[in-house]
Chains A and B, each alone.
Chain A
Amino acid sequence: GAVVSQHPSWVICKSGTSVKIECRSLDFQATTMFWYRQFPKQSLMLMATSNEGSKATYEQGVEKDKFLINHASLTLSTLTVTSAHPEDSSFYICSARVTGTGRSGNTIYFGEGSWLTVV
């Protein structure tokens, strides 16, 4: 099946620094990827929709200047948490939709997630 990979899986950073998380579609092209955030014992909350070659679409309440999203190619989207603070500590998950028919078609697949801890 389709595979979406995130890197890094775990990252610890100091308050005030920036952290970049990568999301790759390994065996398909994704014009659109989605970034979610999951707090412990809570559901996934959509942060933004990442569109290849254009600006991301952010959900209400998500600071676009703090959570920079770049989708420079059809297989890579990056999320950069700028000037991170402890309250940004969370589990960040990306996903991408496989289009077309077939067993994997029209299904959104998720990356493994990235744990961010800001100290």
Chain B
Amino acid sequence: AQSVSQHNHHVILSEAASLELGCNYSYGGTVNLFWYVQYPGQHLQLLLKYFSGDPLVKGIKGFEAEFIKSKFSFNLRKPSVQWSDTAEYFCAGGGSGNTPLVFGKGTRLSVIA
């Protein structure tokens, strides 16, 4: 069965620090991978997605993620975080067609001044 795992439960960073959130997936077929962000009190927003092609995907707000097939990973990165990046980040994966997304447990990012 497909699964998505996020290693970090809670990450605390100072402003301007670099960010990398881990995500590993387990899926037997074609895999589509996503990163979503959920700001406090708000709904999920798509940061970026990967289907095929260039394994380095650039998303909104300066985020990027790299798909490494040999490591079954899709880690999220940002070179310099801001206080406004404080949120819950979810990695998700799913097949094509009408299959639902499977979510990781999420990583809470707290950025302190």
Asked, given contacts A43-B104, A108-B101, whether A113 binds B43 with beta carbons under 8 Å apart, the answer is yes
Asked, given contacts A106-B51, A108-B34, A109-B46, whether A97 binds B98 with beta carbons under 8 Å apart, the answer is yes
Q: Could you tell me if A34 and B100 are in contact, using CB atoms closer than 8 angstroms?
A: yes
Q: Could you tell me if B43 and A43 are in contact, using CB atoms closer than 8 angstroms?
A: no
Task: Report the bound CA distance from A107 to B96 in whole Å.
Answer: 10
Q: Could you tell me if A34 and B49 are in contact, using CB atoms closer than 8 angstroms?
A: no
CB < 8 Å neighbour of B101 from A31, A34, A111? A34
Collect the chain B residues with CB atoms within 8 Å of residue A88's CB.
none
Q: Could you tell me if B90 and A44 are in contact, using CB atoms closer than 8 angstroms?
A: yes
Q: Could you tell me if B106 and A43 are in contact, using CB atoms closer than 8 angstroms?
A: yes
**B74 interface residue per 8 A CB criterion:** no
Q: Could you tell me if B46 and A107 are in contact, using CB atoms closer than 8 angstroms?
A: yes
Q: Could you tell me if B44 and A107 are in contact, using CB atoms closer than 8 angstroms?
A: no
CB distance from B15 to the nearest CB of A (A): 24
CB distance from B54 to the nearest CB of A (A): 16
**B32 interface residue per 8 A CB criterion:** yes
Q: Could you tell me if B49 and A110 are in contact, using CB atoms closer than 8 angstroms?
A: no
Q: Which of chain A's residues 58-114 have a Cβ closer than 8 Å to chain B?
A: 93, 95, 97, 106-113
CB distance from B29 to the nearest CB of A (A): 15
Per-residue CB proximity of A30-47 to B under 8 Å, as 1/0? 011010000001111110
Q: Could you tell me if B44 and A93 are in contact, using CB atoms closer than 8 angstroms?
A: yes
**B19 interface residue per 8 A CB criterion:** no
Q: Could you tell me if B98 and A31 are in contact, using CB atoms closer than 8 angstroms?
A: yes
What are 7 sample pairs from A and B whose C-beta atoms fall under 8 A apart?
Answer: A34-B101, A42-B106, A46-B100, A93-B43, A106-B51, A108-B101, A109-B46
**Known contacts A34-B100, A44-B44, A44-B103; can you find 20 more A-B pairs with CB under 8 A?**
A31-B98, A32-B98, A43-B104, A43-B105, A45-B103, A49-B98, A51-B98, A93-B44, A95-B100, A106-B51, A107-B34, A107-B46, A108-B34, A108-B100, A108-B101, A109-B46, A110-B36, A110-B43, A112-B42, A113-B43
